[in-house]
């Protein structure tokens, strides 16, 4: 091998070593972790730019493993400084270095503010591990607080390294934020936090009791759904702040896991049901079906949890919450239809939608979790609660005005009907007195059927024509002829035919009005005179009479006989014709019905 070739291989080897050293140096620089400088004035100091994290997807790492290679070199800065990794089932290890540059020792707290972690373990060289989380008895926490706190003493000039392990028994929201506090600053913050939460709960209880009492007195279902909705939203607040676990279901680990899904979905379901009831979405089949689909989505979310799919349950609940952001559009739709009481609903739900959107974005890691984003939902709920109470009050005013309007219209209608009936009764009384004087001279009724005979029908009809002419009211006549009645007489005898005839008369009389004149004109032909009836109203009555006869069955001994009839209808021109003329036109229409196949109704031209 020549010396030139050997020199080339030597320089190539040196180049590869140089590249390897550069890569190792770059890796070391990436893993360099600047310590957090501690100070006596720390009040919720964020560590997101200093903390390194390691994701344990299989949830098997131990402290010894993460403190040694190769895992120790896998710790990396938070992606873009974001501490929220969304809804996952992995464990997370956090590592942070802290330095006390002062000349005095410092006592301070390391806080994991997210309260729903199942297990939180703090490790520091030379100190015993401390545990927290809602699967650990509350009494074992180092400090009695809803969040998980780790008290630390740092000597002057010392540098400390702390590891924090965060894990769930079932998938949940992986919020890995760490905050640094001095004890005084933390307890002041703690008092302010309690004051804010207490204010929200107090407003919620006030809304619940006031609307419950109003709903109890008014019996409006909107108040029932609204009261339950506020109660469920308050339970969400207690769940997310850790107060529920501390004071209500401490020690019930299964319920601590279920509560975020249960109360979140329950709040959304009750809000949806309130919206359906308040906006009366049943007026639109499509919109109501979409809201029912949301209710089904909530049920699927709970069902997924019960089957062990907590991750899917939480994601479905977040999807449901995003859909509720569109509820103000439903209020605008009703407002444009004239529902003035929907204005406060639109305003209140718009504020709530903004708060829900912020909460969803926070839960999936799009925006950081801080005091503002954490308390936006309860603040939005309080504002929305007041506005929806105004909307419900508006609803009562709207229904009261609507009821008063209907009652007034009904009273006016009754007064008009009473005046008309009194006038008709008065006139009819006079006519009856005259008729009674003629009773000895003229038999008015048909001996077989008991209805007016031909002569009496014409006499009374002429009086109705005069009355209609005087008061300018409509008048109509209906001619009726039983189809194929001669065949019944020929086949079964006249006695059977008479029974069929009487049955048909009785059926017709159950439908015609008491003010109508009904008479037998001859044989199987009848006529009905309809005062104050237009042609279309008389036609509708004739159709009802036709259907009733077609459905009638006459039983004679062991025989069952059915009969139909043809109808002719005419409006009486009271100014230019007599009843006989109108009946002639109706009779012509009747025979047109016969020609058209019988069992039908025809109008006279």
pLDDT in tens, 111-157: 999 988 999 999 998 888 999 999 988 888 888 888 899 999 999 98
Hey, is 452 helix, strand or coil?
A: strand
CB 561 within 8 A of CB 500: yes
CA pair distance 570, 524, nearest whole angstrom: 19
Mean pLDDT over 467-492 rounds to 92
Residue 180 has pLDDT above 90, yes or no: yes
Residue 383 has pLDDT above 80, yes or no: no
CA distances from 136 to 114, 300, 332, 546 (A): 15, 30, 48, 81
Residue 415 has pLDDT above 90, yes or no: no
Contacts of 80 (CB under 8 A, 6+ apart): none
Q: What order do you get walking across the sheet with 517-522 strand by strand?
A: 517-522, 525-531, 475-482, 565-571, 601-603
CA distances from 285 to 268, 290, 293 (A): 21, 9, 12
CB 592 within 8 A of CB 543: no
Task: Convert 143-153 to b/e letters by CB count within 10 Å (16 or more is b).
Answer: bebbbbbbebe
Better-predicted residue by pLDDT, 458 or 23: 458
Better-predicted residue by pLDDT, 64 or 411: 64
Q: Which helix (H) or strand (E) holds 109?
A: strand 106-112
Largest CA distance in the chain: 156
3-state percent breakdown (helix, strand, coil) of the chain, nearest 5: 60, 20, 25
Determine the pLDDT at residue 17. 47
Better-predicted residue by pLDDT, 528 or 443: 528
Q: Which fold has domain 446-603?
A: Alpha-Beta Plaits (3.30.70)
CA pair distance 493, 129, nearest whole angstrom: 110
What residues are paired with 482 via a beta bridge? 565
Residue 369 has pLDDT above 70, yes or no: no
**Is the dihedral angle over the CA atoms 8, 9, 11, 16 positive or is it negative?**
positive
Report the range out of 23-27, 198-202, 246-250 with the highest average pLDDT.
246-250
Give the CA dihedral 270, 275, 276, 277, nearest 10 degrees. 90
CA pair distance 471, 44, nearest whole angstrom: 89
Using a 10 angstrom Cβ sphere, with 0-12 exposed, 13-18 middle and 19 or more buried, the burial of residue 431 is middle
Better-predicted residue by pLDDT, 398 or 503: 503
Determine the pLDDT at residue 404. 67
pLDDT digits (tens, 9 = 90+) for 247-267: 999 889 899 999 999 999 999
Contacts of 449 (CB under 8 A, 6+ apart): 501, 502, 505, 520
CB 260 within 8 A of CB 172: yes
Determine the pLDDT at residue 10. 44
CB 339 within 8 A of CB 398: yes
Tokens 């003010």 correspond to what residue?
515
CA pair distance 114, 119, nearest whole angstrom: 11
Structure tokens of 304? Answer: 């997924």
Determine the pLDDT at residue 21. 38
- CA end-to-end distance (rounded Å), the chain: 125
Question: Rounded to the nearest 5°, which phi and psi values hold at 499?
Answer: -65, -40
Determine the pLDDT at residue 566. 96
CA pair distance 177, 185, nearest whole angstrom: 18
CB 493 within 8 A of CB 541: no
Q: Which helix (H) or strand (E) holds 45?
A: strand 43-46
Question: Rounded to the nearest 5°, which phi and psi values hold at 419?
Answer: -60, -45
Report H helices in 89-220: 183-218
Better-predicted residue by pLDDT, 435 or 558: 558
pLDDT digits (tens, 9 = 90+) for 275-303: 888 888 888 888 899 999 999 999 999 99
Task: Convert 53-88 to b/e letters by CB count within 10 Å (16 or more is b).
Answer: bbbbeeeebeeeebeeeebeeebebbeeebbbbbbb
Strand-strand pairing, 84-88 and 43-46: unpaired
Domain limits, the chain: 36-181, 190-403, 446-603
CA pair distance 307, 446, nearest whole angstrom: 80
CB 324 within 8 A of CB 356: yes
Strand-strand pairing, 52-56 and 148-154: unpaired
Determine the pLDDT at residue 294. 93
Determine the pLDDT at residue 442. 54
Question: Rounded to the nearest 5°, which phi and psi values hold at 78?
Answer: -60, 135
Pick the CATH number of 36-181 from 2.60.40.2380, 3.40.50.10800, 3.30.70.260, 3.30.499.10: 2.60.40.2380
Mean pLDDT over 540-548 rounds to 95
CA pair distance 548, 504, nearest whole angstrom: 9
- CA 474 to the chain's CA centroid: 50
Residue 477 has a CB neighbour count (10 Å cut-off) of 26
- CA 531 to the chain's CA centroid: 50
Determine the pLDDT at residue 373. 63
| Residue 54, preceding peptide bond in cis (omega within 30° of 0) | no
Determine the pLDDT at residue 3. 47
What residues are paired with 479 via a beta bridge? 527, 568
What rounded mean pLDDT belongs to the chain? 84
CA pair distance 337, 333, nearest whole angstrom: 7
* Banded pLDDT at 362 (limits 50, 70, 90): low
């Amino acid at each position: 091998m020549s010396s030139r070739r050997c020199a080339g291989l030597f320089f190539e080897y040196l180049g590869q070593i140089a590249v390897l050293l550069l890569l190792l140096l770059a890796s070391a620089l990436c893993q360099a972790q600047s310590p957090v400088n501690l100070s006596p004035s720390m009040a919720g100091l964020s560590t997101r730019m200093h903390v390194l994290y390691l994701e344990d997807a299989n949830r098997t790492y131990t402290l010894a493993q993460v403190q040694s290679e190769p895992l120790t070199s896998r710790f990396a800065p938070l992606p873009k400084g974001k501490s929220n990794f969304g809804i996952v089932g992995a464990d997370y290890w956090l590592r942070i270095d802290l330095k006390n540059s002062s000349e005095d020792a410092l006592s301070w707290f390391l806080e994991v503010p997210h309260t729903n972690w199942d297990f939180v373990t703090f490790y520091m060289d030379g100190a015993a591990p401390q545990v927290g989380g809602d699967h650990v008895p509350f009494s074992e926490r180092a400090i009695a607080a809803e969040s998980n706190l780790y008290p630390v003493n740092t000597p002057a000039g010392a540098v400390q390294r702390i590891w924090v392990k965060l894990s769930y028994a079932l998938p949940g929201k992986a919020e890995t934020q760490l905050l640094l506090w001095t004890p005084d600053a933390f307890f002041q913050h703690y008092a302010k936090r309690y004051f804010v939460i207490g204010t929200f709960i107090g407003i919620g209880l006030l809304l619940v009791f006031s609307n419950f009492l109003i709903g109890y007195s008014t019996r409006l279902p909107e108040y029932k759904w609204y009261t339950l909705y506020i109660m469920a939203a308050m339970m969400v607040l207690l769940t997310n702040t850790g107060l529920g676990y501390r004071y209500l279901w401490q020690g019930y680990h299964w319920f601590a896991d279920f509560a975020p899904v249960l109360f979140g979905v329950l709040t959304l379901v009750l809000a949806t049901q309130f919206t359906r009831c308040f906006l009366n979405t049943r007026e639109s089949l499509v919109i109501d079906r979409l809201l029912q689909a949301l209710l089904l989505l909530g049920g699927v979310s709970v069902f997924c949890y019960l089957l062990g799919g907590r991750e899917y349950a939480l994601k479905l609940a977040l999807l449901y919450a995003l859909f509720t952001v569109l509820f103000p559009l439903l209020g605008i739709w009703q407002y444009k239809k004239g529902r003035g009481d929907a204005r406060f609903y639109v305003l209140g739900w718009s504020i709530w939608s903004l708060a829900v959107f912020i909460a969803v974005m926070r839960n999936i890691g799009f925006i950081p979790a801080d005091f503002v984003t954490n308390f936006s939902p309860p603040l939005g709920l309080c504002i929305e609660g007041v506005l929806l109470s105004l909307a419900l009050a508006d609803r009562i005013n709207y229904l009261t005005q609507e009821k008063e309007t209907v009652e007034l219209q009904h009273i006016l209608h009754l007064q008009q009907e009473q005046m008309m009936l009194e006038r008709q009764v008065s006139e009819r009384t006079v006519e009856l007195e005259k008729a009674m004087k003629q009773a000895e001279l003229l038999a008015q009724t048909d001996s077989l059927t008991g209805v007016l005979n031909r002569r009496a029908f014409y006499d009374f009809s002429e009086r109705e024509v005069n009355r209609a002419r005087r008061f300018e009211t409509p008048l109509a006549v209906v001619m009726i002829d039983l189809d194929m009645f001669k065949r019944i007489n020929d086949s079964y005898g006249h006695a059977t035919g008479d029974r069929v005839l009487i049955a048909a008369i009785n059926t017709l009389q159950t439908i015609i009005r008491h003010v109508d004149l009904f008479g037998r004109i001859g044989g199987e032909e009848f006529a009905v005179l309809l005062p104050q009836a237009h042609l279309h109203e008389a036609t509708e009555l004739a159709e009802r009479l036709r259907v009733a006869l077609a459905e009638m069955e006459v039983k004679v001994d062991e025989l069952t006989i059915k009969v139909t009839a043809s109808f002719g209808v005419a409006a009486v021109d009271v100014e230019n014709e007599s009843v006989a003329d109108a009946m002639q036109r109706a009779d012509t229409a009747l025979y047109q019905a016969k020609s058209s196949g019988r069992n039908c109704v025809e109008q006279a031209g």
